[in-house]
């Protein structure tokens, strides 16, 4: 199996591998597999080679290297890349001028030595859970071609799962990091709402949007997260005031953590394999108590209303003049969102204030809470309905049944890759949920699962 993110970072730091060698291996893997996976929508191979050469020259001069020196990464194509058009998965944006600067998070990874190799497929304007993109083609799950990779950051999850890059950036409004992580069997982190700068990324729902990393190992996920952190006074949606490193505390694992398992709504909307994934994680973390998450169904409804209203308002003018150029799978939802009564949105926001207080109160008694990440494993591309515990649900919106209530509260979540029985060999992840601003606790729980071999990234048979 190819070296993981943390292995690459350590090997380059010790001089055991050159950055150029690592980048050539990543480029070769992308060229060998992406005609089948369709994760990439843009490639920056020559720029990557030039950056790798600069890193190797730094080492030759005896200069210190960043903590991610030589690590290849790619970004969901809603992140600005200097000199390129920010597509956000759309056809409409093709006529936009190229970005004049990199997104803040792209800059931070490059400052840490990571090497950008390209941009990644996604649901148009981040409104979807499957990355069945009509304009750029569907993204395929590396563990089962012909099945969805999840969305809206499907290209990010698939690129990491396919071994094309060990690190990718995505966004998560209603589950768009956690769903691809679950379906593709990789690690993902949705940080606390407002933790990471969103400057230089194309928005979907400003009041819920999060940005975060995918990685092929937990240690690497933590390394990347530390590099991404920092205040941004130019982003009014970034509330971080300092960097709070997490890598130093990983080795504490689950020791001393109060870990519970979400019941009720999170059991009723989970298939048998999803429930088994939770049981495996709970056993490894010593969690036996069932915890009731407040108002989950109402929170999901409020998240839908908020997403539709803000998304529809953002694209209203384009919907009036260019509706035919929108993604057929989402254009009706954008239009209906733009037509929603304002009173619905106001009620959803009022509920949210009360809801967050109820959720935050849970963490007086618990440090980490476990829930399934998706109701089912990745369905085939084109699936219209899924069945969960005898109930039939429309597939595309219902993939977020278990993620939407969590992000609406703004809590940080680590998505851990598990492989329960009953999925025909596909992964199905769990969410490790912590109190706002306590990413360190969720990552410690993830580290414990990785050390126990319960959560792991497996090489696909591409």
Which of the following is catalytic: 6, 18, 76, 197? 76
Residues 6+ apart with CB under 8 A from 226: 67, 243, 245, 246, 247
**Tens digit of each residue's pLDDT, the chain (462 residues):** 679 999 999 999 999 999 999 999 999 999 999 999 999 999 999 999 999 999 999 999 999 999 999 999 999 999 999 999 999 999 999 999 999 999 999 999 999 999 999 999 999 999 999 999 999 999 999 999 999 999 999 999 999 999 999 999 999 999 999 999 999 999 999 999 999 999 999 999 999 999 999 999 999 999 999 999 999 999 999 999 999 999 999 999 999 999 999 999 999 999 999 999 999 999 999 999 999 999 999 999 999 999 999 999 999 999 999 999 999 999 999 999 999 999 999 999 999 999 999 999 999 999 999 999 999 999 999 999 999 999 999 999 999 999 999 999 999 999 999 999 999 999 999 999 999 999 999 999 999 999 999 999 999 988
pLDDT for position 462: 87
Query: Is the separation of the CB atoms in 158 and 84 below 8 Å?
Result: no
DSSP labels, 41-75? EEE-HHHHHHHHHHHHHHHHTT----TTTT-EEEE
Task: Identify whether 153 is a catalytic site residue.
Answer: no
- State whether the Cα torsion 245-251-255-257 is positive or negative: positive
pLDDT for position 229: 98
Q: Tell me: the pLDDT tens digits for 281-329? A: 999 999 999 999 999 999 999 999 999 999 999 999 999 999 999 999 9
Q: How far is residue 63's CA from residue 61's CA, in Å, rounded to a whole number?
A: 6
pTM over 0.95: yes
Name the pairing type of β-strands 259-262 and 290-291. parallel
Q: How far is residue 151's CA from residue 157's CA, in Å, rounded to a whole number?
A: 9
pLDDT for position 461: 85
Which of the following is catalytic: 90, 176, 309, 330? 176
Residues 6+ apart with CB under 8 A from 139: 37, 38, 39, 121, 131, 133, 148, 149, 151, 154, 155, 158
Q: Tell me: the pLDDT tens digits for 320-351? A: 999 999 999 999 999 999 999 999 999 999 99
For 148, list phi and psi in degrees, rounded to 5. -70, 155
Which of the following is catalytic: 152, 197, 207, 271? 152
Tokens encoding 308 = 């539709």
Whole-number Cα distances in Å, 248 to 90, 158, 197: 40, 29, 23
How deeply is 62 buried, as exposed, middle or buried, from its count of CB atoms within 10 A (0-12, 13-18, 19+)?
Answer: exposed
Task: Identify whether 201 is a catalytic site residue.
Answer: no
Helices 154-161, 19-37: inter-axial angle, 10-degree rounding: 120
Task: Identify whether 76 is a catalytic site residue.
Answer: yes
Strands annotated E in 266-381: 290-291, 368-372
């Amino acid at each position: 199996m190819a070296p993981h993110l943390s292995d690459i970072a350590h090997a380059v730091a010790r001089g055991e591998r050159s950055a150029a060698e690592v980048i050539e291996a990543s480029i070769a893997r992308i060229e060998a597999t992406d005609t089948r996976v369709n994760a990439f929508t843009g490639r920056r191979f020559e720029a990557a080679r030039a950056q790798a050469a600069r890193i190797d020259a730094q080492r030759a001069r005896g200069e210190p290297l960043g903590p991610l020196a030589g690590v290849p990464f790619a970004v969901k194509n809603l992140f600005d890349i200097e000199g390129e058009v920010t597509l956000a998965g759309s056809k409409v944006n093709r006529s936009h001028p190229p970005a004049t600067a990199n997104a803040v998070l792209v800059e931070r990874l490059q400052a840490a030595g990571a090497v950008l190799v390209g941009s990644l497929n996604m649901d148009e304007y981040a409104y979807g859970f499957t990355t069945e993109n009509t304009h750029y083609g569907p993204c395929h799950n590396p563990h089962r071609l012909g099945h969805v990779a999840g969305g809206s950051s499907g290209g990010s999850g698939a690129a990491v799962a396919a071994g094309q890059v060990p690190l990718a950036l995505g966004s998560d409004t209603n589950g768009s990091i956690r769903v691809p992580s679950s379906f593709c069997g990789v690690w993902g982190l949705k940080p606390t709402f407002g933790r990471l700068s969103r400057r230089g990324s194309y928005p979907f729902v400003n009041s819920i949007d999060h940005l975060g990393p995918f990685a092929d190992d937990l240690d690497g996920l933590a390394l990347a997260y530390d590099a991404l952190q920092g205040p941004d006074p130019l982003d009014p949606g970034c509330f971080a005031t300092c960097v709070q490193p997490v890598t130093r505390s990983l080795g504490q694992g689950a020791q001393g953590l109060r870990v519970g398992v979400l019941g009720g709504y999170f059991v009723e909307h989970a298939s048998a394999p999803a429930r088994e994934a939770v049981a495996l994680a709970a056993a490894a973390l010593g969690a036996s108590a069932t915890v009731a998450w407040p108002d989950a169904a109402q929170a999901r409804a409020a998240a839908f209303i908020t997403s539709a209203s803000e998304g529809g308002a953002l694209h209203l003018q384009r919907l009036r003049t260019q509706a035919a150029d929108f993604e057929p799978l989402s254009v009706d939802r954008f239009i209906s969102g733009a037509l929603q009564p304002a009173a619905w949105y106001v009620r959803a926001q009022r509920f949210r204030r009360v809801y967050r207080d109820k959720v935050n109160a849970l963490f007086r008694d618990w440090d980490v809470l476990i829930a399934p990440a998706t109701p089912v494993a990745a369905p085939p591309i084109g699936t219209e309905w899924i069945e969960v515990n005898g109930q039939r649900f429309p597939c595309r919106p219902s993939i977020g049944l278990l993620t939407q209530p969590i992000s609406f509260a703004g809590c940080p979540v680590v998505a851990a890759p598990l492989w329960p029985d009953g999925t025909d060999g596909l992964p199905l992840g769990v969410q490790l949920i912590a109190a706002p601003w306590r990413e360190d606790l969720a990552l410690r729980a993830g580290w414990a699962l990785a050390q126990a071999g319960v959560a792991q990234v497996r090489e696909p048979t591409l």
